[in-house]
Structure 1
């Protein structure tokens, strides 16, 4: 039996019709100095990459220890894209591919979610608005779509997105204030 295609309300959308400004850190939900229990998390791809590269601060690991972590097929897709673009001749590629593989295999299937057609359709609309408002060029448009899918998927599942991508998710929180994101700064 085929699933029903969702009906999108194209007119009922928030569109400020102006470029959004990046807000100050003090106005945004950042991880504090002490990890606290709270909402279940949906991890942005940068969380895995920062962890693998040793750029995640200890507070992020502490937070992941005390909160339920969930995964998105969006992150799996982005990690696998990374595997595809790595130069097979580079000496570090083999280790990186193995680490990414171990990361993906460690994701518990009952904690890994795929976005449905409702989320995908709404994310396409939202990312189109974001690209128009912020003047995103071609390179940033796919990233914006993936971020929108992750953001709306977290909303639908009742999760909070954990991310170091402050600028893009700040814009998403401005467009949809009922969404939830929790930010951290990675060590460079």
Structure 2
């Protein structure tokens, strides 16, 4: 395991604005257009899989996934497995949902699955702590913030763009770290 440099990570966090971040207008953010084109490789947020499984992903997402290389994080696998575990086994739809999650995970090409390294995990924990403090996140949102931060920093380190429908949290991350990349879409509800 690589050595983790605590002092370098704390110095890295000098971008702390020490104030709550406001959600920017959609026109200021990178959203998928109806006409998609080639570009950077993607790292998929867990919502992309869930929206796809539930038929809520817009056609532009499917078009984008046809054109760009898609990569997967062990963070998304972890969140999908958590979903499979939390579903009520007595509910009539659970068996099918778990089966679909399994098909999704088993369909990920092993050479396109990436695990975050120690540096990403350490910095993401620091970033998530700052985000929770700045935005006043309560217990329920803290683990989600940590996972989002890991995914965001992992994508940045690998040179990927995060594809997500989670506009509010990833907008905050882009404000804190403008060199990161995210591409947004709205799910069809």
Fold-level match, TM-score > 0.5?
A: yes
Match runs of 1:70-85 below 5 Å:
70-85=71-86
Which residue of 1, 4, 7 maps to 2:2? 4
Q: Which residue of 1 aligns with 2:33?
A: 32
Give the Cα–Cα distance (whole angstroms) in 1 for the partners of residues 2 and 43 of structure 2.
Answer: 26
1:4 Cα offset (Å):
2.9
Deviations 1:18-70, CA, capped at 9 Å, x for gaps: 00000000000000110110000000000000000000011100000000000
Give the Cα–Cα distance (whole angstroms) in 2 for the partners of residues 62 and 33 of structure 1.
Answer: 9
Q: Which residue of 2 aligns with 1:174?
A: 175
SS in structure 1 opposite 2:60?
A: helix
TM-score where L is the length of structure 1: 0.98
The structure with the greater share of residues assigned to helix is 2
Q: Which residue of 2 aligns with 1:130?
A: 131
1:81 Cα offset (Å):
0.1
SS in structure 1 opposite 2:20?
A: coil
1:5 Cα offset (Å):
1.6
Give the Cα–Cα distance (whole angstroms) in 1 for the partners of residues 174 and 60 of structure 2.
Answer: 23
Give the Cα–Cα distance (whole angstroms) in 1 for the partners of residues 82 and 109 of structure 2.
Answer: 20
Give the Cα–Cα distance (whole angstroms) in 1 for the partners of residues 12 and 117 of structure 2.
Answer: 20
Query: Aligned pairs, how many?
Result: 186
Deviations 1:96-151, CA, capped at 9 Å, x for gaps: 00000000000000000000000000000000000000000000000000000000
TM-score where L is the length of structure 2: 0.97
Contact 2:73 2:113 in 1 (8 A): yes
RMSD, aligned CA = 0.6
SS in structure 2 opposite 1:161?
A: strand
Give the Cα–Cα distance (whole angstroms) in 1 for the partners of residues 12 and 62 of structure 2.
Answer: 39
**Unmatched runs of 5 consecutive residues or more in structure 2:** none
1:11 Cα offset (Å):
3.0
Dislocated runs of 4+, deviation >3 Å: none
